[in-house]
Amino acid sequence: MKNAQIAKIFYDIADMLEIMGENPFRIRAYRRAAQNLESHSKDLAELTKEELLKIPGVGADLAGKVMEIVATGTCKDYEALKRRSPEGIATLLAIPGLGPKTAKLIYDRFKVHDLDTLEKLARDHRLKGLPKIKEKTELNILRGIEMVKKGGERMPLGRVLPVANQIMEILRKRAPVCQMEVAGSIRRWKETVRDIDILATSSEPEKVMDAFASLAKAREVIAKGPTKTTIIYDGIQADIRVVEEGSFGAALCYFTGSKEHNIRLRELAVKKGWKLNEYGLFDKNNRSIAGKTEEDIYRAFGLQFIPPELREDRGEIDAALKGQLPKLIELSDIKGDLHTHSKWTDGSYTIEQMAEAARRLGYEYIAMSDHSKSLGIARGLNEEKVMEEMQEIDALNKKLRGFRILKGLEVDIKSDGTLDLPDGILSKLDLVNASIHSGFRQSREQITKRITSAMRNPFVTIIAHPTGRVIGGREPYDLNMEEALRTARETGTFMEINAYPDRLDLNDQNAMRAGEMGIRIAISTDSHLTSHLNMMKYGVQIARRAWLEKKDIVNTLGLKELTALLKEKRKRAVAWA
C-alpha cells in the first residue's frame, strides 16, 4: 500500500463528506491529513502509531484509520460512506465551477454520475428547471466538462513557465503596469502547475484588465472584473490581479500560497489579534502593520523570510520562528554538469560544442556521459567506442584552459541487475552514472535489487534519474526508495536530481529524504542539446524545495575538490567491496 493510495482514500472521504454537506472543518481535516500523508517521505505502512501522530493534521482518529487501511486495504468508515454516497459523484466534483452543492442538487434530481449524461442534460436544457440554475449555469457546466475532457490536469512547469513569461513581456509593453510578478505554484516552482497567476500594480487597473483579456492567444475570458480577470491562454488558465502599491507584498504572499501556508500565517495573525489578507497585515483597530513587501510581513510576525519554494506547510513556519531555515542552494553555486550527452550517442552536438556551451555558463567542468551499448535506440557505445570517445576527450582537455571535460558514461543497469559494461572499462573513467532504461515493470524487489547492486559496484558514482518517472508520461518504477537511500548512504553513492523538466527525478520529497539521510546529490541536466544545459535551474529549484544547501550538492564543488572527492569515494568503495 503506497502513501498515495492511502491519501486517496482520505481525499475520497473528504469529497463524499462534502457532497453530504458535512462540517467543512472536518472535511478540511481529511484533506489536510491526506496532503501530509501523500507527501510524507517514509512509507506509512512501516510507521508506528506514535510516528503517525507526529504527522501534522493526523490525530488519534486518522492515525487509527491509516493503520486500519495498511492492515486491511480499506477502512470501515470509508466503505460505509461509499454505500451511502453515490458511486462516481466525485467525477462531477472534478468539473471546474461545479461544487458540492450544485453537484448534489443535480444528482438528487437526475441520479447522474458521469460526464456524458450530464453533458446531454445540459445541452438539452434540462438542468435549468432546478433552483438557481438557468442558461448561464448550464453553459458553465458545459465549459467545465469540456475542460475536464480536454485534460485540465497539471502541466509540467517547464511548459508553463515560458508561457507566463511571455504574457508578462507583452503586458509590460501594452499595459500601464508598474510592478509585476508571477505568483502561485509557478513561483513556488512546483513540478507541475494548473494555471498561471500574475500579480501587478497599476494606477489604471481597468486598462490592465482590458489588455489582459484581449491578448491574442486569449481564447476565452472566463471572468473579468475591475481588478481580477481570468482567461484561457494557449490552452492554459491564466489569472491576473491588480492591487495598490502598498498591498503588493501582502498580495504576492497571498497569491503565491500555498493555500496551507497562507492558512498557517493567518492563524498566527489571529492569535495576535491581527488580520492578514491580500491587502495587508492589520491590527485589531484595522491599522496597517505591513503590506508593501513580503519581507515586511514575515518580519512583523517575527519570522525569517521564507523563500517561496518552502511555502508548503512542511514545517517552514516553525523553522522560521526559530531562525532555523536552511540557507538554500542557488543556481550560481553550480560549478558544472555531471550528466550530458554528445553526438557519440543520442546527443545532437559534439563534445567540444557541449563543453563550450558549459563554459559560457561559467562552469569549471562538464562530464560527458554517453549511453552504453545495450541502449540500442541511442546507439549506445561498446568497449572500443567508449575508449575512442575518451581519447577525444583527452585531446580536447589538452586544448582547454581553465575548464575540464570529465570522462563519464551513463551505463545501463540491465534487467538482470548487472551493468552493461565491465569494471575494466568503468575503472578508467572519472565518473559513472548508472541508470535503468528497461524492465520498468519489474517487481519492487527486482527493481530495488537492480539499483542497490549497481550502487555496490565501486565504480558507480551516481544513480541517474533514480525512479525513471516522466511527468505526464510514465509512472516511476516500483523502487523501494528507503532501501535505495540506505544503500546509497552505505556505499557513498550520489543520487541524481535530474533537472530535465519532464523528469525532475529525484522529486522534491525524495530529495528531501536523501538530504535528511546525509546523502550527497548531483544536480544534472541530462542534456542532449547545448540549450538543455540551461535546464539546470529546474533541478536547483527541486533541491531548494527539498530544503537542500550548497554543501549537499556535489556539483557545487570546484574542479579540484570534486576530483578529490571522486578519487576518495572510489578508494573507499574498492576497499569496501
Partner DNA sequence: GCCGTTTTCGGCCCGACTGTTTTCAGTCG
Which range touches DNA (CB under 7 A), out of 61-69, 118-126, 352-360, 401-409? 61-69
- CB of residue 554 vs DNA: minimum separation in angstroms? 37
Does 358 help bind DNA (rule: CB under 7 A)? no
Question: CA dist 576 to 274, 458, 485, 570, Å?
Answer: 59, 8, 18, 10
Does 58 help bind DNA (rule: CB under 7 A)? yes
**Contact between residue 485 and residue 514 where contact means Cβ atoms under 8 Å apart:** yes
Residue of the chain from 73, 88, 97, 162 that contacts DNA (CB under 7 A): 97
- CB of residue 545 vs DNA: minimum separation in angstroms? 19
Measured from the CB atom, is 259 or 474 closer to DNA?
259
Question: CA dist 485 to 218, 450, 518, Å?
Answer: 46, 13, 10
Measured from the CB atom, is 260 or 496 closer to DNA?
260
Q: Exposure string (b/e) for 95-113, b if CB count within 10 Å is 16 or more?
A: bbebebebbbebbeeeebb
Residue of the chain from 41, 85, 201, 262 that contacts DNA (CB under 7 A): 262
Residue of the chain from 7, 9, 16, 29 that contacts DNA (CB under 7 A): 29
> Residue 527 and residue 505: Cα distance in Å, rounded?
14
Pick from 135, 85, 133: which is nearest to 111 by CA?
Answer: 85
> Residue 343 and residue 378: Cα distance in Å, rounded?
10
Residue of the chain from 9, 37, 90, 103 that contacts DNA (CB under 7 A): 103
DSSP 154-171: -EEHHHHHHHHHHHHHHH
- CB of residue 19 vs DNA: minimum separation in angstroms? 10
> Residue 497 and residue 337: Cα distance in Å, rounded?
11
> Residue 545 and residue 349: Cα distance in Å, rounded?
32
Measured from the CB atom, is 253 or 426 closer to DNA?
253
Which range touches DNA (CB under 7 A), out of 101-109, 334-342, 374-382, 412-420? 101-109
Site size toward DNA (CB under 7 A) is 62
Does 567 help bind DNA (rule: CB under 7 A)? no
Does 101 help bind DNA (rule: CB under 7 A)? yes
Residue of the chain from 147, 168, 211, 276 that contacts DNA (CB under 7 A): 276
Which range touches DNA (CB under 7 A), out of 28-36, 163-171, 293-301, 466-474? 28-36
Does 174 help bind DNA (rule: CB under 7 A)? no
Which range touches DNA (CB under 7 A), out of 59-67, 387-395, 535-543, 561-569? 59-67
Which range touches DNA (CB under 7 A), out of 97-105, 107-115, 292-300, 431-439? 97-105
Which range touches DNA (CB under 7 A), out of 173-181, 257-265, 361-369, 490-498? 257-265
- CB of residue 193 vs DNA: minimum separation in angstroms? 11
> Residue 398 and residue 400: Cα distance in Å, rounded?
6
Residue of the chain from 96, 235, 307, 439 that contacts DNA (CB under 7 A): 96
Task: Return all residues near 322 (Cβ < 8 A) that are at least 6 apart.
Answer: none
Residue of the chain from 83, 111, 124, 132 that contacts DNA (CB under 7 A): 132
Element spanning 539, H or E: helix 536-545
96: cell is 471546474
Residue of the chain from 8, 12, 51, 56 that contacts DNA (CB under 7 A): 56
Residue of the chain from 23, 327, 398, 473 that contacts DNA (CB under 7 A): 23
Residue type, 312: E
**Contact letters for DNA, residues 501-530 (x by CB under 7 A):** ------------------------------
Task: Return all residues near 499 (Cβ < 8 A) that are at least 6 apart.
Answer: 523, 524, 525, 526, 535, 536, 537, 538, 539, 540, 542
Strands 236-243 and 228-233: antiparallel
- φ/ψ (deg, to 5) at 505: -145, 110
Pick from 307, 309, 305, 297: which is nearest to 323 by CA?
Answer: 305
197: cell is 497567476
**Contact between residue 418 and residue 448 where contact means Cβ atoms under 8 Å apart:** no
Burial of residue 346 (number of CB atoms within 10 Å: 0-12, 13-18, 19+): middle
Does 271 help bind DNA (rule: CB under 7 A)? yes
Does 259 help bind DNA (rule: CB under 7 A)? yes
Pick from 220, 200, 17, 158: which is nearest to 100 by CA?
Answer: 17
**Contact between residue 130 and residue 109 where contact means Cβ atoms under 8 Å apart:** yes
Residues of this chain, 194-233, that bind DNA according to CB under 7 A: 194-195, 197, 223-228
Task: Return all residues near 388 (Cβ < 8 A) that are at least 6 apart.
Answer: none
**Contact letters for DNA, residues 137-156 (x by CB under 7 A):** x--x----------------
Measured from the CB atom, is 135 or 204 closer to DNA?
135
Measured from the CB atom, is 58 or 367 closer to DNA?
58
Which range touches DNA (CB under 7 A), out of 57-65, 437-445, 468-476, 527-535? 57-65
Binding positions for DNA, rule: CB under 7 A = 23, 25-26, 28-30, 33, 56-63, 77, 95-103, 128, 131-137, 140, 184, 194-195, 197, 223-228, 237, 239, 255, 257, 259, 262-263, 266-267, 269-271, 273, 275-279
